[in-house]
Structure 1
Amino acid sequence: MAQNVCQSEFKPSEISYGAGALSGAYDAIADHWPVEACREALSSGINTFDTSPYYGRSEYILGDALEQLAPDFPRSNYYLQTKIGRYGYTPQDFDYSAQRTFESVAESMRRLKTDYLDSVLCHDVEFVDFEKVVGDDGALSALFQLKAQGKIKYVGCSGYPLPMLLKIAEHQAAAGQPLDVVLSYSHYNLQNTKLADYAPKFRAAGVRYLFNASPLNMALFRDAGPPDWHPAHEQLRAAAKQCSQVAKANDLNISSLASLFAFTGRATFQLNSTVIGLSRKEEVQQAIAAWKTAKAREQGTEQIPDIEANTLKEIHDILSPYKDYSWQSPTPKELGQA
């Protein structure tokens, strides 16, 4: 991954730094972690940072960390991607109006200590009415105005249901103003690979950059298990726990296996970048190591060990009843129904 980037073109690294992990929503973080993790990321060639106002103090923490690193890594060395529209847990906490979009982008620039943003996405588009996304006084209209003014460089959408993301992408293509970026999460991992099926459709709709977030399926595939708020049902949680135990029994780590699998998206369907949550220097190192292994295997310079291949087969068998299952989004809890 190239360390210095040209700001005239968006060339995201194959791993993007998921700064949602800096919010503390998954695990508590120590004060010194963000600077150390960001330094390790930039030194290793990661050049894209993804965040959102919804992720607690993530924008503030990331902005402070990058400011401290500016003598060694000036702004021209990396891309900043943030989001607008979602500011809380329930649909009532969304505001996709043009005015709020303008305000939100300005707020994000202040928090991130920058006078421009590389990419801004409508956050979790499935929570609001379609017209609030694509309408004349909606969020996308405002973002494209900001793009024309040079305050942001690329415009896109993020969300969970792939059909909704595709509907918006196809609408924008028909209107002659295609999305630059689509960020999908939890749809290319050990349990769900539907993004690979949708990728040609997004490309046909003019989407230039495809991002896959949450290769661990929002922490489902880690030894500690997912946080309590995770939307997966109990059967899938139990299956994921069983996968972790199978990996451990073979002296392997479920998170590493999940990362390795997700990184195959580059070769499988020309995925541009995988967004992985990183809060500590050690997590950055682990992600880079997994990516390098995936690249070596893609290039044929390294073979998958038999023990790993057999373990993956067992894991896929465990997950087969839930293959490509997508939970409801918004969830009943987010809708106030549970």
Structure 2
Amino acid sequence: MAKKVSQTELQVSELSFGAGALSGVYDKIEEGWPLQACQAALRNGINLFDTSPYYGRSEYILGDALDGLKEEFPRSSYYIATKCGRYGYTTKEFDYSAARTRESVQESLKRMKTSYLDIVYCHDVEFVPFENVVGEGGALEALYDLKSQGIVKYVGCSGYPLSVLLKIAEHQHQKGQPLDAILSYCHYTLQNTSLADYAPRFRAAGVKHLLNASPLGMAMFRSAGPPDWHPAHAELRKAARQCAVIAEEHGLNIAELASTFSFSGRDQFGLDTTVIGLEKAEEVERAMDAWKVVKEREAGTKAVPQAEIDALKKIHEVLAPYKNYAWQSPSAKEMA
């Protein structure tokens, strides 16, 4: 029987499964991949799966995969995190009302065939007015009510601008109802390490769990280069492609370099976990290999190869003009 996760304290694995990748937005998902990927993750000790209603059919696909593994891995052996509030691309497709929040949670429960959710985040909080998040009749009010019923175990917020996340966290702390979790993305990567600077401020605001997503910067750091839809400006996308070439010239893979860099954040500033998008079992194994390398280096049992040191030096030089640059969120298109 699989080991049960703690039901009294959120004890997440250092790597978490980003199920947004199962939506097919990055690649076409072949039949069988989701179940195989989830099985590989659970067998490797990954115990948190992150999704959202916004991620296409991700909740349905994840729910089916986990249900297919219930004999080997029952619901008590992992955590599920999902989101509410964002249901489409533009700001018009957000609904942070308490009523819609409760409805959204019920929909997520049904899709993922579970009676409770471990974490529910208000999704992309920068897209809506502050009061819609924290005010009377808003999303957080509903989530804390659901928490009191045991339907939701932990309440959090996710988004891109760290300043917006911190404003909400500090407000909730002053209110005496601190957020349990913050999910940040693209802010502890080769290009942007701002999360490390914000971490102590989130902790001071009573946030117990700090999660980092998208260590590859939303597919910015991959051999194929950033996807066409990436919100970074043209100069940064060009620099990212140059970084991939530098890695290849040193016999390395840029995605693996970016992963190992991001995974080191746990010990650098007390990061709880890194959520990485995974589509198939092979990607799970590669992510675990990169994580194991980081742990071996931290333990002093494995040295960093000179080729990697040289490559990272050049990569950081290329990225220096764009260090900690943050793109606009929401974008002009998303505001339409």
Q: Do the two structures share a fold, i.e. TM-score over 0.5? A: yes
Matched-pair contact (CA < 8 Å) for 1:85–1:96 = yes
CA distance, structure 2, for counterparts of residue 226 and residue 121 of structure 1: 27
Percent identity for Structure 1 against Structure 2 = 64
Name 1:17's counterpart in structure 2.
17
CA distance, structure 2, for counterparts of residue 8 and residue 180 of structure 1: 13
CA distance, structure 2, for counterparts of residue 227 and residue 25 of structure 1: 10
Q: CA deviation at 1:4?
A: 3.7
Q: What secondary structure is seen at the aligned counterpart in 2 of 1:119?
A: strand
Which deviates further from its counterpart, 225-234 or 50-59?
225-234
Matched-pair contact (CA < 8 Å) for 1:97–1:137 = yes
Q: CA deviation at 1:224?
A: 1.5
Structure 2, gaps ≥5 residues long: none
Q: What secondary structure is seen at the aligned counterpart in 2 of 1:220?
A: coil
Matched-pair contact (CA < 8 Å) for 2:226–2:240 = no
Name 1:122's counterpart in structure 2.
122
CA distance, structure 2, for counterparts of residue 181 and residue 322 of structure 1: 28
CA distance, structure 2, for counterparts of residue 273 and residue 227 of structure 1: 25
| 1:212-260 superposed Cα distances (whole Å, 9 cap, x missing partner) | 0000000000012222221011000000000000000111000000000
TM-score scaled by length of structure 2:
0.99
CA distance, structure 2, for counterparts of residue 44 and residue 318 of structure 1: 35
Name 2:271's counterpart in structure 1.
271
Whether 1:93 and 2:93 are equivalent positions in the alignment is yes
CA distance, structure 2, for counterparts of residue 227 and residue 313 of structure 1: 25
Matched-pair contact (CA < 8 Å) for 2:226–2:241 = no
Q: Partner letter of residue 297 of structure 1?
A: R
Matched positions, count: 335
Q: 1:289 to 1:66 in 2, by over 3 A?
A: same
Which deviates further from its counterpart, 225-234 or 54-63?
225-234
Instruction: List aligned pairs for 1:70-149, cutoff 5 A.
Output: 70-149=70-149
Matched-pair contact (CA < 8 Å) for 2:12–2:273 = yes
Name 1:203's counterpart in structure 2.
203
Q: What secondary structure is seen at the aligned counterpart in 1 of 2:157?
A: strand
| 1:108-164 superposed Cα distances (whole Å, 9 cap, x missing partner) | 000010000000000000000000000010000100000001101000000000000
Matched-pair contact (CA < 8 Å) for 1:155–1:180 = yes
Q: CA deviation at 1:272?
A: 0.1
Q: CA deviation at 1:5?
A: 1.6
Q: CA deviation at 1:3?
A: 5.2
Matched-pair contact (CA < 8 Å) for 1:3–1:44 = no
| 1:282-338 superposed Cα distances (whole Å, 9 cap, x missing partner) | 0000000000000111111111111101100100000000000000000112113xx
Matched-pair contact (CA < 8 Å) for 1:98–1:138 = yes
Matched-pair contact (CA < 8 Å) for 2:60–2:112 = yes
Name 2:220's counterpart in structure 1.
220
Q: CA deviation at 1:7?
A: 2.0
| 1:67-120 superposed Cα distances (whole Å, 9 cap, x missing partner) | 000000000110000000000000000000000000000000000100000000
CA distance, structure 2, for counterparts of residue 313 and residue 3 of structure 1: 42
| Cα RMSD after superposing both structures | 0.8
Q: Partner letter of residue 176 of structure 2?
A: G
CA distance, structure 2, for counterparts of residue 4 and residue 268 of structure 1: 28
CA distance, structure 2, for counterparts of residue 20 and residue 43 of structure 1: 20
TM-score scaled by length of structure 1:
0.98
Q: What secondary structure is seen at the aligned counterpart in 2 of 1:227?
A: coil
Matched-pair contact (CA < 8 Å) for 2:156–2:182 = yes
Q: Partner letter of residue 317 of structure 2?
A: D
Name 1:232's counterpart in structure 2.
232
Instruction: List aligned pairs for 1:1-338, cutoff 5 A.
Output: 4-336=4-336
Q: Partner letter of residue 151 of structure 1?
A: I
Q: Partner letter of residue 28 of structure 1?
A: K
CA distance, structure 2, for counterparts of residue 4 and residue 14 of structure 1: 16
CA distance, structure 2, for counterparts of residue 230 and residue 74 of structure 1: 37
Q: What secondary structure is seen at the aligned counterpart in 1 of 2:153?
A: strand
CA distance, structure 2, for counterparts of residue 154 and residue 295 of structure 1: 28
